[in-house]
């Protein structure tokens, strides 16, 4: 967890969060869908992990 060097992950449409093909949605997808937000403030490492398709650290609500 980092409180510095924060970045914002952005999706074009909320519908992009519910694309078929993925059985278990990662925690960051679930959180964005639950909040109905197209942006999520996260640390740089987690942002890189999201774009690389790797798991991220547990997210807080």
For the chain, how many structural domains are there in total?
1
The reply to whether 22 falls in a domain is: yes
Instruction: Please give the residue range of the domain that contains residue 22.
Output: 6-52
The reply to whether 17 falls in a domain is: yes
Q: How many CB atoms lie within 10 A of CB 33?
A: 14
pTM above the 0.85 mark? Answer: no
Question: For residue range 4-15, what is the model confidence (pLDDT) as tens digits?
Answer: 889 999 999 988
Residue 34 has pLDDT above 80, yes or no: yes
Ranges of H-type helices in the chain: 27-35, 44-52
Question: For residue range 10-31, what is the model confidence (pLDDT) as tens digits?
Answer: 999 988 888 777 678 888 888 8
The reply to whether 57 falls in a domain is: no
pLDDT at site 60: 67
Tokens 């074009």, residue located: 12
The reply to whether 46 falls in a domain is: yes
Distance, in Å, from the CA atom of 28 to the CA atom of 17, rounded to the nearest integer, reads 10
């Amino acid at each position: 967890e980092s409180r510095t060097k924060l970045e914002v992950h952005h999706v074009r449409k909320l519908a992009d969060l519910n694309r078929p093909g993925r059985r278990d949605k990662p925690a960051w997808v679930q959180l964005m869908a639950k909040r109905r937000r197209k942006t999520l403030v996260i640390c740089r490492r987690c942002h890189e992990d999201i774009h690389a398709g790797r798991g991220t650290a547990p997210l807080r609500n």
